[in-house]
A = this chain, B = another copy of it.
Amino acid sequence: MRDPEATLRQHQLPVTAQRLAVLRAVSRHPHATADAVAESAREEIGAISRQSVYNVLNVLTEKGIIRRIQPADSPARYEDRVGDNHHHLVCRACGQTEDVCCAVGGAPCLEAHDDHGFKIDEAEVIYWGLCPACQRAGAHASPAHPLSPHHHD
């Protein structure tokens, strides 16, 4: 993120130490959880309440300054990168999260065959698997994540 302070002003948000710290924390640690953001913010400004972290993350999300993702079996994660419709790759074993561009194009799967009359505004894609480290560690694709809807081992 270029200039956190300017970004806040652009969105009519009063600039506070807490908001700057949280915004920078998200910027420094993409896909961090609220807890991780809190830790990182504390390193920067000494102290910030848990509630404030949530308050800030919520406003920033509402304003579209950051984006919240909520993969199964994980607390919400936040990221800096907004407005480019990218998706995510999540490790079933350790939760490591990576960004991936749209697989097919601009807004790939954004059209379901039968929309059941819904007015669709987003197609969210999450790829599940094992990150390189967990593959080497011999993790199997289940312990951390008991789903695995349709794997054909």
Interface residues, chain A, CB within 8 Å of chain B?
Answer: 58, 61-62, 64, 67-70, 72-73, 76, 82-85, 87, 89, 91-92, 98, 100-101, 103-104, 108-109, 111-132, 135, 141-142, 146-151
Contact = CB atoms under 8 A, between A and B. Distances in A.
A127 to B, nearest CB: 5
Contact of A109 (B64, B103, B132, B146): B103
Most buried by B among A114, A118, A122, A123: A118
Copies of this chain, how many? 2
Contacts of A119: 129-130, 135, 141
* Interface residue SS majority, chain A: loop
A124 to B, nearest CB: 5
Contacts of A109: 103-104, 108-109, 125, 127
A104 B101 contact: no
B117 A82 contact: no
A118 B127 contact: yes
